Structure 1
Amino acid sequence: MIFIFSFIKFNYINAQGFYDIDTIQKIEIQFFQSNWDYILDTAKQGSDGYLISKWVKINGVQFDSAGVKYKGNSSYNVNNMKNPFHIELDYVKNQNYQGYNDIKLSNGFKDPSFVREVLAYKILKKYMASSLSNYAQLYINGQLIGLYSNSEAVTKSFADKYFYSKTNPFFFMDNFGGNLAYLGTDSSLYYSKYTLKSSFGWANLVNLCNTLQNNVGNIESILDVDRTLWMLAFDNILVNLDSYIGQPMHNYYIYEDDNGRFNSIVWDVNEAFGNFTNSGSGNLNISQEQTMSPWLHLNDVPWPLINKLFTNPMFKRMYIAHAKTIVNENFTNNDYFTTAQYLQTIVDTAVQSDIYKFYTYQQFLDNITNNVTSGPQTIVGISNLMTARTSYLNSTTDFQQIAPTISNIQPSDTLPFVNSNIYITANTTNATNVFLGTRNSILEKFTRMIMFDDGAHNDGTSGDGVYGISLTITSPETQYYIYAENNNAGIFSPERAEHEYYTIHTNYNVIPYQQLVINEIMAINDTTVQNNNSLFSDWIEFYNNSSDILLLDYLYLSDNFLNPLKWQFPTGVSILPNQYFIVWADNDTVNSQSELHSNFKLSGSGEQVILSYANGVIIDSTTFYTQSTDITWGRYPNGVGSFGTMLPTIGATNSPFSVNEIKFSPEIKIFPNPADEFLNISINNNHNSNYKIKIYSITGNLVLSDDFNIFSFENFSKKYDVSNINKGMYFVKIETVNDIIIKKIIFE
């Protein structure tokens, strides 16, 4: 029996590798051309196309033919030697570095401190899904260009990582005026203000804008309001005006998850901490930035995410609760300043060696604290801004309102069974309404339910400040938070909810270690085997090593260690002793009695597969790398051995032939392929040798065998009758004393 009652911190900081905040990455670009800067400038001012590099190296790992171009608006200048870059590793070839193929490098053009972007993202990541960010030194054709901030691109891979799908409607507000204002039913009216990043979605965007304008009471059904409140609070507290809340009304994405709700994603925070001054009500001076109202644009129609959302008093109280959390956790305690100093120690030497930086080394040292003047421009010191801003915010009426308190949160049964009823109770003070937000998995949205202080919900006596609610446990885990409010203020527990939450895991038996294993994986199925839908889809094979029937209830399967709960096995699925079970990884979630389909596909360029329970118990996992077509990643010996590349044996004992054995000599010809009635094998021999020819099915069954000797310089040719062999894919194995040669063949 396994049980965990825990507090979940929903973030992805672990195992970040390429975005490790403590390490400066080394990125090298080698162009064929010596005038690469001129070519990139020309492209930037014209088609904005990519220049194909000879290679790009990341920390010594080389990628040929990567696409490179300049990016940015105000940060780009044709006269700059140090411009921002966009690198596409997979522009020509399917390749990635640690799963990342899209690299965005910012040049620090308005940041003497070199910390604004990395610091802002580090703060933001505590409260919502956002980009990882660190530093990189960039070299081009052997020359050091300088130090850059290196922030995770918001791509379909990003959506898959944080929202567990990547084909839904996806928009980038990179043009001025992407404010979600309703312009009418004609989707063409939105084209100039929004960039569609998916294959469809204009109707969904129009519906979002229409609902926000005309039916805001229904907005939670199509917008993750909590995530949006975090975004608005972050932009306001950090005076990040080059965003939705400033005049550009841009630099954010929205992605629609599988629950039909758009999720806000912050992008491009290099001008946070007061660098961009246009609030939409004019350019703010430093004093105005320090005292900028938390209700900026509350009454301004062009900002409907503010003007319309905050017609709901609960959303206003939730917004202030989030804003206070950001202030208390980062600024009142001076944590941001300690972090900024730490970041400067990481990059100090790199800043000194950056000959193309836009400010002096002394200005770098000064700007965390002091204002820096460069020409007509004054860059506000980060602590000069935030010390005064923190004092101002904490003095406002909204921040001084007395919020409820929440304590002693208790489930009545800390080891519940599925389908059992429990109570969740919490002690509160100064609350008029208390809510429980709950969901069964990270793939779902939270549902808010009113809690009771009536003496009838395991909550003590009526009116004692203890609130309770009855909850039916319907899944292996229950995620929840508490929100309490009065007429003036609200509070969450945990305070970072809905981004963080409490979790109850249920009481159930787990499969013992090594009884059930991931046995074989195919990530590029071109001709090997079809599923019941007549599709050559990716597949994952499991094997039951035990003598017992194994029930797969409560198990999850995923292709990402950071998101292990992507797909749950349907209730009642089992594997017989010493038998195999196949899951088709094809993003087709329509399952049947005869086969199962996961909600993700495998990547031929490599990733992970993990089989685990919601309580964190991992049954099996593997990491595979770039795969070959119709070749698998499997265990040998079957069910117990280590993983390696091999010939496919779906639903059967894994083959001992590894891909390292697959060679093909020009002296040997096998034809035709595909073959029908006859198969010809010809050998142009230049030495004495014994030849063994064997043909195997993909399940490892031997269907044809031959053995003969050929003397030196003797040519051999033989026609084999294969008319009685079933149609499908087979492997021809030709073995000599010195070589093993394996060739894939199709019989029709």
Structure 2
Amino acid sequence: MSTHKHIDRICCVVLVLVLILTAVFVNGEAFGIQTVSTVMGYELKLFDTSVVHTIDIEMDDWDSFIENCTDEEYVNCTVIIDNEAYKNVAIRAKGNTSLSQVQTYGNNRYSFKVEFDHYDSTKNYYGLDKFCLNNIIQDNTYMKDYLTYQMMGYFGVDAPLCSYAYITVNGEDWGLYLAVESIEEAFLKRNYGTDYGELYKPDSSDMGGGRGIGGGFNEGGGMPRENEGQFGGEKMPGFGTGSGQQNAPDGMGGEADGAAGKGMGKDMDGAAGKDMGKDMNGAMGSDDVTLVYTDDDYDSYSNIFENAKTDISDSDKDRLIASLKKLNENEDIEEVVNIEEVIRYFVVHNFVVNFDSYTGSMIHNYYLYEEDGQLSMIPWDYNLAFGGFQSNTDAAGLVNYPIASPVSGGTVDSRPMLAWIFASEEYTELYHQYFSEFIAEYFESGYFEGMMDSVREMIAPYVEKDPSKFCTYEEFEAGIATLKEFCILRAESIRGQLDGSIPSTSDGQSADGASLVDAGDMEISAMGSMGITEKMEGTAPEAAGESLQRPDGEAGESFEQGKMPDMNGGTNDFAANNTQSWILVSISAAILLLGLIVAFVFKRR
């Protein structure tokens, strides 16, 4: 037996230290130890991009549900994903203009939102709380959203996961949809850990339509219904003329005109005040959705705060306003902007030429993430990318769209989250560097062409048998071929803009268009557009009756997708985040047990 006179105290100290260590392991985040990201489990389940998944929706009265879809009310159903059934799940139609457009098409092919936790907060799909089923409207390629999200993920942007899913209703074919991870709690945990920051979806009240506008975890965005059909011309506001476009210096290396120094974003063409965005070359958003700092009044940012997707306090509002102020004054950019994340976002965003967005006249379809005062952008809704917005037909103008003046319906200065890049030679060079890396890795390497061919091979049989598609199969083939050609030519033009052989500003291209990449007889409309077409293959099938049948066979057909990069960053172990917590508890318990054994042995000696 030990004769050390302080053995009792030593044992007590050891036990206390072990207990402290256990508390730190289990409650690390409470002590400031942050988890960068969390493996949820659903990443390689529903969002495995190597297969077309099967989703069967079972509902007693599908006809009634479809008839009332425009009400966007949740209805109870059973959802069977790759032969795994989930009962008591909520589903509703989603969208803004797409809701009325589906009716105009004379079609029942709505987009849907599926919520596992709507009726039971404990229910989830391998950690996923909600996801969307996009109907792929106005996209003959079936790939605009998919391709953009894959590009974003490939290039390190926090983007929603997505995959193709063939939908059946009560066992009867309904159509090929795109399953997209909702930008909600599961997304936040996957990308930022359980101690995530604040999420907003800035959108003007006059941009409205749909349930997406408002607080809480609800998707939104979209063109106001009262303005449908307004944009039918062949030219976008300011497109190709240089008017209203931000000009970068020669060589793309210096400060952009008017963007340098403090006050950036305050004196934008004299448009101050809350309605600035509405008066600048056709832009239709309020100041706050452009992320312009006006003052410290909460009401000046109602289109941000009223569309918060996380619970926010006054201190959260103060912190965001302070960050917007510094952003607009071009001060402490490293503190208020996630530099690398945002530049990478704009590299891909500007490549795909999407004017139904922050850089377009509508100024919406993006999420704003804030954590500890630092801001970043999360991509959303790209079905009108690659020139689809406003039914533009200028193929050469879109292929060569200038990367140094990428705003339509305004100036670069009028978009503070973009303007800081061109206000600094250092950040402009970083933007060019990342663009060069993206073009080299994704396109010049041959990866893009191989990926496109593989995805086309994978989805083509499902498109062909899709009973409710918005285009014919021949239009799908023409659309996907056009998308492939567009991207190849776009990459060629951007390489020229980076090396100086092609002007990188709208003014430069207007003055000298001889070096622009020739788009030949490319028809942008072949990829789909905002216009309504009479060429639908058919309409959505009627309800599949009362019989509730489960789909037969495996979870989709497996196709080789080349060297698709791993976008998911982990295994598909079920509820992996809970598993990690139990591992930490087990380790702590083992250490505690070891301490007790040591104490017992010393006590006996």
Interval containing the TM-score (normalised by the shorter chain): 0.5 to 0.7
Greater Rg over alpha carbons, structure:
1
2:483 aligned to which of 374, 382, 396: 382
Q: 1:293 maps to which residue?
A: 402
Change (3 A) 1:519 1:235: closer
2:110 aligned to which of 60, 83, 86: 83
Q: 1:271 maps to which residue?
A: 384
Letter of the 2:381 partner, please give it.
D
Shift of 1:319: 0.8
Change (3 A) 1:351 1:579: farther
Change (3 A) 1:151 1:315: same
Change (3 A) 1:519 1:340: closer
Which secondary structure state, in structure 2, belongs to the residue aligned with residue 160 of structure 1? helix
Q: Whole-Å Cα distance in 2 between the matches of residues 37 and 128 of structure 1?
A: 36
Shift of 1:400: 6.5
Q: Whole-Å Cα distance in 1 between the matches of residues 91 and 195 of structure 2?
A: 24
The answer to whether structure 1 residue 221 and structure 2 residue 332 are counterparts is no
Change (3 A) 1:364 1:158: same
Which secondary structure state, in structure 2, belongs to the residue aligned with residue 314 of structure 1? helix
Q: Which runs of 5+ in 2 are unaligned?
A: 1-36, 208-284, 503-566, 568-578, 600-605
Q: Whole-Å Cα distance in 1 between the matches of residues 594 and 295 of structure 2?
A: 54
Which secondary structure state, in structure 1, belongs to the residue aligned with residue 417 of structure 2? helix
Q: Whole-Å Cα distance in 2 between the matches of residues 274 and 332 of structure 1?
A: 22
The answer to whether structure 1 residue 171 and structure 2 residue 280 are counterparts is no
Matched length:
394
Which secondary structure state, in structure 2, belongs to the residue aligned with residue 125 of structure 1? helix
The answer to whether structure 1 residue 118 and structure 2 residue 146 are counterparts is yes
Aligned pairs for 1:310-459 (under 5 A) are 310-369=422-481, 381-396=482-497
The answer to whether structure 1 residue 186 and structure 2 residue 297 are counterparts is yes
> Normalising to structure 2: TM-score of the pair?
0.59
Cα deviation digits, residues 63-97 of structure 1 (max 9, x gap): 22211111122333233221111000111022111
Tell me if structure 1 keeps the 8 A contact 2:421–2:431: no
Shift of 1:277: 4.8
Change (3 A) 1:578 1:36: farther
Tell me if structure 2 keeps the 8 A contact 1:169–1:197: yes
> Normalising to structure 1: TM-score of the pair?
0.49
Tell me if structure 2 keeps the 8 A contact 1:238–1:272: yes
Tell me if structure 2 keeps the 8 A contact 1:171–1:196: yes
Q: Whole-Å Cα distance in 2 between the matches of residues 349 and 179 of structure 1?
A: 42
Tell me if structure 2 keeps the 8 A contact 1:297–1:306: no
Q: 1:202 maps to which residue?
A: 317
Tell me if structure 2 keeps the 8 A contact 1:25–1:58: yes
Q: 1:25 maps to which residue?
A: 53
Change (3 A) 1:392 1:42: closer
Aligned pairs for 1:156-167 (under 5 A) are 156-166=185-195
Shift of 1:167: 5.1
1:576 aligned to which of 595, 600, 603: 595
Q: Whole-Å Cα distance in 2 between the matches of residues 84 and 578 of structure 1?
A: 61
Q: Whole-Å Cα distance in 1 between the matches of residues 193 and 367 of structure 2?
A: 16
Change (3 A) 1:81 1:323: same
Letter of the 1:230 partner, please give it.
R
Change (3 A) 1:240 1:333: farther
Tell me if structure 1 keeps the 8 A contact 2:197–2:370: yes
Letter of the 1:322 partner, please give it.
Y
Q: 2:253 maps to which residue?
A: none
Which secondary structure state, in structure 2, belongs to the residue aligned with residue 147 of structure 1? strand
Change (3 A) 1:21 1:213: same
Q: 2:93 maps to which residue?
A: 70
1:262 aligned to which of 356, 369, 375: 375
Cα deviation digits, residues 506-553 of structure 1 (max 9, x gap): xxxxxxxxxxxx99959xxxxxxxxxxxxxxxx9354666xxxx6xxx
Shift of 1:122: 1.5
Q: Whole-Å Cα distance in 2 between the matches of residues 25 and 399 of structure 1?
A: 45
Shift of 1:249: 1.9
Q: Whole-Å Cα distance in 1 between the matches of residues 38 and 138 of structure 2?
A: 29
The structure where strand makes up a greater share of residues is 1
Tell me if structure 2 keeps the 8 A contact 1:274–1:385: no
The answer to whether structure 1 residue 149 and structure 2 residue 178 are counterparts is yes
Change (3 A) 1:575 1:154: farther
Shift of 1:335: 2.3
Cα deviation digits, residues 263-294 of structure 1 (max 9, x gap): 3211122333332258xxxx572221111000
Aligned pairs for 1:578-727 (under 5 A) are 578=597
Shift of 1:399: 5.7
Cα deviation digits, residues 23-63 of structure 1 (max 9, x gap): 1121122223243344542413xxxx31222x222222222
Q: Whole-Å Cα distance in 2 between the matches of residues 203 and 69 of structure 1?
A: 35
The structure where helix makes up a greater share of residues is 2
Letter of the 2:92 partner, please give it.
K
The answer to whether structure 1 residue 51 and structure 2 residue 49 are counterparts is no
Q: Whole-Å Cα distance in 1 between the matches of residues 593 and 370 of structure 2?
A: 34
Q: Whole-Å Cα distance in 2 between the matches of residues 387 and 335 of structure 1?
A: 11
Letter of the 1:104 partner, please give it.
C
Shift of 1:18: 1.2
Q: Whole-Å Cα distance in 1 between the matches of residues 203 and 166 of structure 2?
A: 26
Letter of the 1:287 partner, please give it.
A
Shift of 1:356: 0.6
Q: Whole-Å Cα distance in 2 between the matches of residues 179 and 170 of structure 1?
A: 16
Which secondary structure state, in structure 1, belongs to the residue aligned with residue 200 of structure 2? strand
Q: Whole-Å Cα distance in 1 between the matches of residues 290 and 123 of structure 2?
A: 36
Which secondary structure state, in structure 1, belongs to the residue aligned with residue 585 of structure 2? strand
Cα deviation digits, residues 687-743 of structure 1 (max 9, x gap): xxxxxxxxxxxxxxxxxxxxxxxxxxxxxxxxxxxxxxxxxxxxxxxxxxxxxxxxx
The answer to whether structure 1 residue 133 and structure 2 residue 178 are counterparts is no
Which secondary structure state, in structure 2, belongs to the residue aligned with residue 65 of structure 1? strand
Tell me if structure 2 keeps the 8 A contact 1:67–1:92: yes
Q: Whole-Å Cα distance in 2 between the matches of residues 61 and 260 of structure 1?
A: 41
Which secondary structure state, in structure 1, belongs to the residue aligned with residue 138 of structure 2? coil
Shift of 1:236: 0.8
Tell me if structure 2 keeps the 8 A contact 1:167–1:199: no
Change (3 A) 1:38 1:11: closer
Q: Whole-Å Cα distance in 1 between the matches of residues 295 and 465 of structure 2?
A: 53
- Greater relative contact order (CA < 8 Å, ≥ 6 in sequence): 2
Letter of the 1:68 partner, please give it.
I
Tell me if structure 1 keeps the 8 A contact 2:200–2:308: yes
